[in-house]
Structure 1
Amino acid sequence: MKVLVTGGSGLIGTATTQALLAEGHDVVNVDREPTRVAVRHYNLDVADAVAVREIFEKEHPDAVLHLAAQISVPSSVADPLRDMHDNIQGALSVFEAARHTGTRRVVLASSAAVYGNGAVPPITEEVPLEPNSPYGVSKVAGELYLRGFYREFFTYAVLRYGNVYGPQQSYQSGAVIAKMVHDALTEQCIHVDGDGTQERDFVHVRDVAHLNVLVLTNPQSFVANVGSGRPVQIMDIVRVIREELGQSVTVQHHPTRPGDIHASYYDAARIQRLLQWKPSISLREGIRQVIEAQRR
């Protein structure tokens, strides 16, 4: 297949591009950042509908994996208009280009943020969507456009990712594990928002990349959670980092961030049933990889 990946220079995009190439697919990357993988790359904003349409008309991809997004909840709270531009306008630009150029399949990267704080974990796909941040709202909007209108033109998959992490992740992105490891290595102090009892569903980027390849070649339209199905408290991450470093690391607590969800972990039975997929990399092994990468 020829696969167009938006956001292909990011954490998930890079790992997915590498996995697609390993399977023999032809990959095109659309991203404002340069790519680290040897594929055709278009440097542009996916919210630019005219430019995106031109690329689709030139490349005619069989499938699209739409990963490009503004991914920070705090940033969405600070600037909802920017979040809307990146996430809603960006998604519509991609969907419209796919509709008009005959793309057969579109995969949308969504998020646990669509559920908000009202959902009782483990969260199933049938839980009502009640986002409590602009980021969550923008992800719901993209889903609804796909499921309510664009389903007439191509098959789709909506993947509601848990907390994706990996050794290439930048601590500057604010990602929990990457930032905690960085702080532990540079300050011997881990900064925790809230009391640390917040629960998350962490899944390694290589497992997600493998799943993305499977989803692109699956003909069904569906919505599915992507995660381990196991709750992990933030203080559990602190404990593992301390054990892996084998040194004294203090903890400093800060106020809870606006828009954050307290408990979010998945029932991942649907994706496991549809694609016979399960995460293979343990949290401890994943954290060890992050530590080794940051030390290098």
Structure 2
Amino acid sequence: MKVLVTGHQGYLGTVMVPVLQAAGHDVTGLDSGLFEQCVLGPAPLDPPGIEQDLRDVSVTQLAGFDAVVHLAALSNDPLGALAPEITYAINHRGSVRLARLAKEAGVRRFLYASTCSVYGAADDGLVNEDTALRPLTPYAESKVRVEDDVAAIADDWFSPVFLRNATAFGFSPRLRADIVVNNLVAHAVLTGVVRVLSDGTPWRPLVHAQDIAVAFLTALEAPIHKIHCAAFNVGTETNNLTVAEIAEAVVGAVPSSHLLITGETGPDPRSYRVDFSRFRDTLGYEATWSVADGATQLYRAYLAYGLNQHDFAHKFTRLPHLDALRSAGLLDESMRWIRTAA
């Protein structure tokens, strides 16, 4: 298939594109380049790409594709809280506009990267795709709105599918250090301490970036009647862990590190465990990476590629990176690049 991947220069896109290409698909990227330079280790080999802000995509740019894999978003809860209107403009309105234009252009398949954080909080048991959604952040709320609005334009020709990823972890050449496993491993490598600011009790569902890539490939190649306008949780029940258990896995992966649970921020209201059986039963998908194996992968990559404190705190953490671009006069208040005559 001829596939357009939005956000191909992001954390997940950089891992996903080679997986799609290895399966024989003709991949083109679309990205504004906000995180193009956030590379740890050898620079990745990007596919042919369209440099374009998601909000400014035209129907002609989408013509000729069999599928759109839509990853591009402002993916950070602190950023969403700081600038909720921009989060909604990009993540919600930009995504729905993209889907409408893809339909107009004759694109058949639309794979949307949603999130398990749409469930928000659950008191007991496992949440599944039929559980009431209770998003707690602008980021999660934007994902719920996109699912609703894109489902409303589905028809016999235009077939969306909503892949609700668990919290991602694992190494990507375009690293994110502001997600829980990646962050804790970085702290352990740089300071010797795995520091947990909450009380460690909240539950988190986790999934490796490589497993997310395989999930999207699985959905891309699935018979349309099995996935049409459906939501699927992406992950594995064995990676439903408390924050304290995640931290313990990191201590086990990073030699000479130790765990410190401060509890200074109190309990986190975002706590939920997820049932991933629908995707497994429908398409035979299995996530294979454990948190322990992912933590070991990250530890080895951080050492091999020389992760340092400055890059950890600024280059690979979304909010400081975007703040630096704005402070340098490169981004405007809407997170668009400022183009000069020169």
Query: What TM-score, normalized to structure 2?
Result: 0.79
Query: How much has 1:212 moved relative to structure 2?
Result: 0.7
* Equivalenced residues, count: 291
Cα 1:173/1:287, change in 2 over 3 Å: closer
- Matched to 1:185, the amino acid is V
Q: Secondary structure at the match of 1:21?
A: helix
Residue 54 of structure 1: aligned partner:
60
Residue 5 of structure 2: aligned partner:
5
Deviations 1:218-265 (A, max 9, x none): 21311111111232111112212222223143525364499x543222
Distance 1:114 1:169 in 2: 27
Q: Is the 8 A contact 2:199 2:261 kept in 1?
A: no
Distance 1:112 1:119 in 2: 15
Q: Secondary structure at the match of 2:289?
A: coil
Residue 39 of structure 1: aligned partner:
47
- The answer as to 2:244 corresponding to 1:238 is no
Query: How much has 1:170 moved relative to structure 2?
Result: 6.4
Residue 188 of structure 1: aligned partner:
192
Taking only the aligned residue pairs, the percentage that are identical comes to 27
Q: Secondary structure at the match of 2:274?
A: coil
1:22-171 map, 5 Å: 22-33=22-33, 34=36, 36-48=44-56, 51-57=57-63, 60-118=64-122, 120-151=124-155, 153-168=157-172
Query: What value does the CA root-mean-square deviation take over the aligned residues?
Result: 2.1
Query: How much has 1:15 moved relative to structure 2?
Result: 1.7
Q: Is the 8 A contact 2:8 2:29 kept in 1?
A: yes
Cα 1:18/1:257, change in 2 over 3 Å: farther
Distance 1:37 1:78 in 2: 33
Cα 1:228/1:134, change in 2 over 3 Å: same
Q: Is the 8 A contact 1:107 1:216 kept in 2?
A: yes
Cα 1:98/1:256, change in 2 over 3 Å: farther
Q: Secondary structure at the match of 1:136?
A: helix
- Matched to 2:274, the amino acid is Y
Alignment partner of 2:271 out of 223, 240, 263: 263
- Matched to 1:55, the amino acid is Q
Q: Secondary structure at the match of 1:150?
A: coil
Distance 1:112 1:268 in 2: 10
Query: How much has 1:215 moved relative to structure 2?
Result: 0.3
Q: Is the 8 A contact 1:227 1:265 kept in 2?
A: no
Q: Is the 8 A contact 2:9 2:174 kept in 1?
A: no
Distance 1:226 1:268 in 2: 6
Q: Is the 8 A contact 2:196 2:263 kept in 1?
A: yes
Q: Which residues of structure 1 form unaligned runs of 5+?
A: none
Distance 1:166 1:155 in 2: 30
Distance 2:86 2:303 in 1: 34
Distance 1:140 1:45 in 2: 22
Query: How much has 1:94 moved relative to structure 2?
Result: 1.4
Query: How much has 1:93 moved relative to structure 2?
Result: 2.6
Q: Mean alpha-carbon deviation: is it higher for 96-105 or for 161-170? A: 161-170
- Matched to 1:31, the amino acid is D
Q: Is the 8 A contact 2:108 2:158 kept in 1?
A: yes
Q: Secondary structure at the match of 2:53?
A: coil
Distance 1:175 1:83 in 2: 18
Distance 1:172 1:103 in 2: 31
Q: Is the 8 A contact 2:87 2:139 kept in 1?
A: yes
Distance 1:121 1:291 in 2: 32
Query: What TM-score, normalized to structure 1?
Result: 0.91
Residue 213 of structure 2: aligned partner:
209
Cα 1:243/1:152, change in 2 over 3 Å: same
Cα 1:294/1:144, change in 2 over 3 Å: same
